[in-house]
Structure 1
Amino acid sequence: MGLRLLLPPHNLRRQPWALLLLLVGSLVMCSTASAGAGIEHVQKTMDMDVVLRLSGRPANMTLTAFRNFTYQQTLDHFNYLPSSYTTFPQRYSIDFTHWGGAGTGSPILLYTGAESALEDELAGVGYHVHAAPALRALVVYIEHRYYGLSVPFGSPAAAHKDADTLGYLSVSQALADYAEIIIHIQKMYNARGPVIAVGCSYGGMLSAYFRLKYPHVAHGALSSSGPVLYVNGNLSSRREYYDIISSDFMSISVHCFQTIKSSWAEIDRINRQLGVGELIRIFNPCKPFTDVNPLKNYLRLEYNRYAQYDDPASTPVRRFCRGVDGAPVGTPILERIKAGLDRIHGQRCHNIAAARVKAPGLSGWGWQTCTEIMLPVGPGGGPQSLFEPWPYDFQASRRWCMRKYHVEPRPQWMATAYNITEALEQFGSNIIFANGLRDPYSDGGVLQDISPSIVALTTQEGSHCLDVAYPRPATDPQWLIDQRNEELRIIRGWITTFHSSFNPRDDQ
């Protein structure tokens, strides 16, 4: 009999698998689209400094227990050319605090690092605080190649120099990295227990694919907020991501929704009649901009962030709308928008002209979105949308990539390598797909069970990666506590099955 779960009494929902959805390639938060006069490469929205700024650091967050290591990683796992054997130092961190010890069979919780530096991942993702003590687990975080300091060729600048040096950055290479390091750790510490991969967003995609591609290494995976159904080779523009953002704002304040919706035309009107200088006066940018595109991109990105990370502790959508709605009667539209921004950021200058991520590894992320990761999302407009129509345009994206990297995108590759359809029910197992339905990326997530052991957990009020964030006992709602407990219950079942049916070989 398969694993069947009881429905919690709150907003945690699990749905039977109604349609065999395509389980496809991974990654999140970047698109290239046509924006008015030119092509704008829109930044990813999951950068940890923003998450921490929006929600604040939890009081129980501690990184002192982690010990840092490096592993001499193989540059190219899939060729036998002499250059493939080049190595580079890849960083990882281990917390031994709650581990049951060598030879005990206690599990390993592996965080599959994503498009951020190791320090940012440690600061932003705290699932181990909840799970490690309960499971007596060894906790491992691995930094993704080409991000942070885990870079080949001696430096980030050298690694990101051009297509020849960036060519070793791919999902497949990253998964092989994780396998090598985990096997190394197992041997080094006689850690014989099951490996449970945990990841969020792009890292959530990696955790799911790690389980599927390396089932002999990972016994299960928790994929939090991973839109695995987006990157399936279908390049038709999808509007649902932005529709969820619109719904999030509408659910808080119709007036705020209408103000944002009206602001795009008002920006154009003021620019046309009074010039860009008046927009600069209203929005107080840290650096002046010369046309409306940087301003519109900045505002789109802000609204994306507020909806994506609209967690119960920080409620950025509600805070922004309080600023908009609380402006005095008669306040013009754009001044109301500015009041909402000030409610979030304080009354200071806004980094409008710097709307792209400047963190180390940005060129690595751009490379990934230009080679194997195609995310065809773009707002469709209409009465229920906050946004102007701005559909995804693959040909525009292709041209941008050719100019930037001199590389031709391969939009079908992820579907070729990771497009698991009906076969997944036949051979896959032990994956949790967790999504909060206020997260716009939930539209690309698995929201219904695939099989008795590949299950979907959704929360009506959940936001992006909220279940794997650091617990906040004082403010976490009961439905979030229930979700984490349900995830833990499922993982305990995997571990029990591992110990009852699998005896690790002595030579591993």
Structure 2
Amino acid sequence: MKLFVVILVISVSVTNCQFSPFRTIFEKLHEGPPPPLVQYRNNIHMKYIEQKLDHFDESEKRTWRMRYLSNDFYFKEKGPIFIFVGGEWEISESNLRGGHMFDMAKNLSGYMFYTEHRYYGRSQPFTDLKTENLKYLNVKQALADLAHFIKTSKETIPGLQESKVILVGGSYSATMVTWFSKLYPDLVNGAWASSAPLRAKVDFKEYKEVVGASITEVGGEACYKRIESAVKILEDDIENGNLERLKENINICPNFDVTNKKDVMALFGSFSDIFAGLVQTHNKGNIEKACEMILTGKDDVAGFGKFVKAYVDAGSKCVDLSYDAELTELRKTDLKGEMRQWYYQTCNEFGWYQTSGSDNQPFGHHFPVDLYVELCKDVYDTPFSGETIESNIQLTNEAFGALQPEVKNVYFTHGKLDPWHAMGLLCSGDCGAVVPLYAHCKDLASSSSADTPEMTELKRTISKLVTKWVS
């Protein structure tokens, strides 16, 4: 008995000294659109609407409650409906208090909503996220939820019966507003898709190419080269069974196994995702400051490690970048966070695995598509395989048209620095815009004197189009 207690105490002590950064890295990459800098103090209402668990099976009678937020402060009868569509995040009031959609709705006397995606935030059909309960998590069900929401709102809220409908989305929810326009064209009059990936792809090697190119463009070639060199040194260390530099510069936990291929893949995949988070969420000065930190290190690995440690913010704890640590996070079935749900959707519908499959990026070659396929296999009680995932992705592209969605009245916008633009529809004029020096979903903010001429023109164009669509 005493031996068991001693072992338990030692185990708890070791665990408390370790920090798993995988959830932190995920949340920075999948947070909702950035909150507006200027927010109005309107009263925001939180409500719920009953939804079918399965919109496509008449024999399934179960229902659940979907959360949404609303702002009717500026609404006048027959004014347009503006819906900010939620994606793989928990919705918040901020996007109904400011931003360019808010500004357009205010000017056009619109009624604003923010809908929450099933299985995210407080919109949970079940009390846990066990694999059998994820059966109803897919984009077609989520789009049907949105269709029901629009119909019900127009039928039950006074003054909305004749209102035109404008959808706005960022990232995955921008994908959703595009696909909604394809499946339910009679329910929407126009949509703004900011940073929408439209082509599902298993091996999304282009993502890390853009990350590297954006670091070079904003932070300089020397920064890119130092990252590339540091990764190469650490790859060589791993191959030689040497963890000393990783321990000294990143404080990696002793449970990391250099002989375990999955540990090695998880390590370098995480490093690349840290830099992806830097680029994807970039605001002016962010990449520049990170590169300054990297370049002031005493050598390549020291500079690289200095930034990685600052990003994960583990304090005095060692950083657990093992495959098992990632697996542990993804296997959690409680309702805290969005990591498990989103990864299920990638296995089941989208892929979008941001791999080391290209030579034109600085993060090495140790996180191939195999890493992500193995996670699909190991996390869920579903027989995922490389073949089934590839088949799932093909079905998604067949259903929605990939880069040829055949929709009307959808405005597609991208930041050139944003890695997601590589899977998006890039066009100009009334079709869309690709704006230099901006990252992911940054165009959703209100117009500002700090906007570049290209960004100013983008916001002028979407305002003009929305006014036309609702007239």
CA distance in 2, matches of 1:63, 1:275: 56
Identity of aligned residues (%): 21
1:415 aligned partner: 397
Q: TM-score, normalised by structure 1?
A: 0.75
Q: 1:181 aligns with which of 149, 174, 177?
A: 149
SS at match of 1:167: helix
Structure 2 CA distance for partners of 1:391 and 1:479, relative to 1, 3 Å: same
Q: Give how far 1:205 is off.
A: 0.3
Equivalent residue runs for 1:76-91 within 5 Å:
76-81=54-59, 84-91=60-67
CA distance in 2, matches of 1:400, 1:391: 12
1:117 aligned partner: 90
Structure 2 CA distance for partners of 1:241 and 1:152, relative to 1, 3 Å: same
CA distance in 2, matches of 1:204, 1:126: 16
CA distance in 2, matches of 1:407, 1:342: 36
2:10 aligned partner: none
1:335 aligns with 2:302: yes
2:246 aligned partner: 279
1:205 aligns with 2:175: yes
Q: Is the 8 A contact 1:95 1:140 kept in 2?
A: yes
Q: Is the 8 A contact 2:80 2:470 kept in 1?
A: yes
Equivalent residue runs for 1:24-103 within 5 Å:
43=26, 46-48=29-31, 58-61=36-39, 65-81=43-59, 84-100=60-76, 102=77
Judging by fraction of residues, say which structure has more helix.
Answer: 2
Equivalent residue runs for 1:238-249 within 5 Å:
238-249=204-215
1:446 aligns with 2:425: yes
SS at match of 1:412: helix
Q: Give how far 1:188 is off.
A: 2.0
1:8 aligned partner: none
Give structure 2 stretches of 5+ with no counterpart. 1-21, 259-263
CA distance in 2, matches of 1:430, 1:88: 32
SS at match of 2:467: helix
Q: 2:271 aligns with which of 282, 293, 299?
A: 299
Q: 1:150 aligns with which of 115, 123, 134?
A: 123
CA distance in 2, matches of 1:392, 1:135: 49
Q: 1:250 aligns with which of 207, 212, 216?
A: 216
The AA in structure 2 aligned to 1:401 is C
1:32 aligned partner: none
Equivalent residue runs for 1:298-447 within 5 Å:
298-312=270-284, 315-327=285-297, 331-341=298-308, 348=315, 353=321, 360-375=337-352, 377-382=354-359, 384-390=360-366, 392-393=368-369, 397-405=372-380, 406-408=382-384, 409=389, 410-419=392-401, 424=406, 428-447=407-426
Aligned residues: 423
Give structure 1 stretches of 5+ with no counterpart. 1-39, 497-508
Q: Is the 8 A contact 2:38 2:98 kept in 1?
A: no
The AA in structure 2 aligned to 1:213 is L
SS at match of 2:46: strand
The AA in structure 2 aligned to 1:262 is S
Q: 1:218 aligns with which of 184, 188, 191?
A: 188
CA distance in 1, matches of 2:61, 2:269: 42
1:495 aligned partner: 470
The AA in structure 2 aligned to 1:495 is V
Structure 2 CA distance for partners of 1:420 and 1:369, relative to 1, 3 Å: closer
CA distance in 1, matches of 2:63, 2:404: 38
CA distance in 1, matches of 2:150, 2:46: 14
Q: Give how far 1:463 is off.
A: 0.8
Equivalent residue runs for 1:224-239 within 5 Å:
224-229=194-199, 231=200, 235=202, 237-239=203-205
1:459 aligned partner: 435
Structure 2 CA distance for partners of 1:63 and 1:377, relative to 1, 3 Å: farther
CA distance in 2, matches of 1:109, 1:260: 43
The AA in structure 1 aligned to 2:427 is Q
Structure 2 CA distance for partners of 1:121 and 1:142, relative to 1, 3 Å: farther
Q: 1:167 aligns with which of 130, 135, 143?
A: 135
1:133 aligned partner: 106
SS at match of 2:48: strand
Equivalent residue runs for 1:262-277 within 5 Å:
262-271=229-238, 275-276=242-243
CA distance in 2, matches of 1:123, 1:321: 35
**Root-mean-square deviation over aligned CA pairs:** 3.2
Q: Is the 8 A contact 1:271 1:279 kept in 2?
A: no
Structure 2 CA distance for partners of 1:332 and 1:226, relative to 1, 3 Å: same
CA distance in 2, matches of 1:397, 1:249: 25
SS at match of 1:110: strand
Q: Which aligned segments of 4 or more residues in structure 1 are displaced greater than 6 angstroms?
A: 354-358, 420-423
CA distance in 2, matches of 1:238, 1:393: 9
Q: TM-score, normalised by structure 2?
A: 0.80
CA distance in 1, matches of 2:270, 2:354: 17
Structure 2 CA distance for partners of 1:273 and 1:398, relative to 1, 3 Å: closer
1:34 aligned partner: none
CA distance in 2, matches of 1:274, 1:398: 26
The AA in structure 1 aligned to 2:136 is Y
SS at match of 1:311: coil
The AA in structure 2 aligned to 1:68 is M
Structure 2 CA distance for partners of 1:215 and 1:459, relative to 1, 3 Å: same
Q: Is the 8 A contact 1:58 1:472 kept in 2?
A: no
2:165 aligned partner: 195
Q: Give how far 1:139 is off.
A: 0.9
2:456 aligned partner: 481
Q: Give how far 1:438 is off.
A: 0.7
Q: Is the 8 A contact 1:298 1:352 kept in 2?
A: no
Q: Is the 8 A contact 1:311 1:463 kept in 2?
A: yes
The AA in structure 2 aligned to 1:243 is E
